[in-house]
């Protein structure tokens, strides 16, 4: 199978492996529904220290193989976002080199933490690296936006404000490191179903985005307090689609040391914030004993 190019035979690039880190919506406001049916969003996004891993072997033909604990049922054909990203890149840059991708899948699918989008962004980063393009190339951002709403923010995987349908990115932000627990109950949640349950009518009147330069607290308690005053507007409709989301949040909020618990994206993954790593690790052990097979990952958001 197409493994990482790192440490491969002489003459191959040694750095064609990248992490596709989980994206977490620390908050998410739905500003309204546009006349074209798309919803305008405003979200503070951070990235976890965990994720999938993607490698590219330029000596092989364009293709994809998949392994890892969350690989079951995933198709490696043209519909996979990694190959869709590669196809879009090669259409935009037809004389570019490509190769054989290998994805180690660790993140749950359809879970609100941008797993597929992060994989697509990782493919674009690797192809850009292989062909000598800087990752912030405007055309690369355009390709990312055409693939999916979360793909542009996953290109650099840095904390920032994200607006529109995902194409408007604020400057990268320096967040304090946030010890956290990510929990997914194993129930895929379709984004379309959540927005349908939200039930917004199309309107020309949209709420305003937050200023991109809005100050971010430099301390963990300060950021906890700021987030406590915000929300995820998709939580209530997601609970209609997948009632288990309410159970996850209730269990997280009852954990010792939990300062805040909220759903990410359109669900069903939820996150809990803690004061320190020791508290998040202890909480993960407690929850594993009680959860009956939920995906539970202590991590740090930044």
CA proximity to 22, closest of 45, 55, 38, 56: 45
> Could you tell me which residues are beta bridge partners of residue 198?
none
The tokens 């996004």 sit on which residue?
A: 45
Residues marked active site are found at 23, 150
Which residue is it, tokens 């929300």? 231
Is there a contact between 259 and 279 (Cβ–Cβ < 8 Å)? no
Burial 26-39 (b: 16+ CB within 10 A, else e): bbbbbbbbbeeeeb
**Which stretches within 159-297 are classed as H helix?**
191-198, 220-228, 235-241, 244-253, 277-291
CA distance 283 to 298: 9
């Amino acid at each position: 199978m197409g493994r990482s190019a790192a440490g491969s035979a002489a003459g191959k690039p040694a750095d064609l492996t990248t992490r596709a880190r989980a994206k977490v919506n620390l908050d998410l406001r739905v500003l309204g529904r546009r006349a074209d049916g798309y919803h305008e969003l405003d979200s503070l996004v951070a990235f976890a220290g965990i994720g999938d891993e993607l490698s590219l072997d330029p000596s092989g033909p364009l293709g994809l193989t998949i392994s890892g604990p969350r690989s079951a049922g995933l198709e490696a054909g043209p519909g996979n976002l990694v190959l869709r990203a590669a196809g879009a890149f090669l259409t935009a840059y037809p004389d570019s080199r490509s190769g054989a991708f290998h994805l180690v899948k660790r993140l749950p699918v359809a879970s609100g933490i941008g797993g597929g989008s992060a994989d697509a962004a990782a493919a674009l980063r690797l192809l850009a690296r292989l062909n000598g393009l800087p990752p912030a190339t405007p055309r690369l951002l355009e390709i990312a936006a055409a693939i999916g709403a979360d793909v542009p923010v996953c290109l650099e995987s840095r904390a920032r404000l994200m607006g529109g349908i995902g194409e408007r990115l604020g400057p990268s932000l320096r967040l304090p490191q946030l010890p956290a627990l990510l929990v997914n109950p194993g129930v895929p949640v379709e984004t379309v179903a959540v927005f349908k349950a939200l039930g917004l009518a199309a309107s020309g009147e949209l709420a305003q985005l937050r200023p991109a330069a809005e100050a971010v607290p430099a301390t963990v308690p300060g950021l906890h307090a700021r987030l406590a005053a915000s929300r995820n507007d998709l939580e209530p409709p997601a609970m209609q689609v997948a009632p288990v989301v309410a159970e996850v949040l209730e269990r997280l909020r009852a954990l010792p040391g939990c300062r805040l618990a909220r759903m990410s994206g359109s669900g069903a993954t939820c996150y809990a914030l803690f004061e320190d790593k020791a508290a998040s690790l202890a909480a993960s052990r407690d929850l594993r004993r009680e959860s009956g097979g939920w995906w539970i990952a202590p991590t740090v958001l930044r």
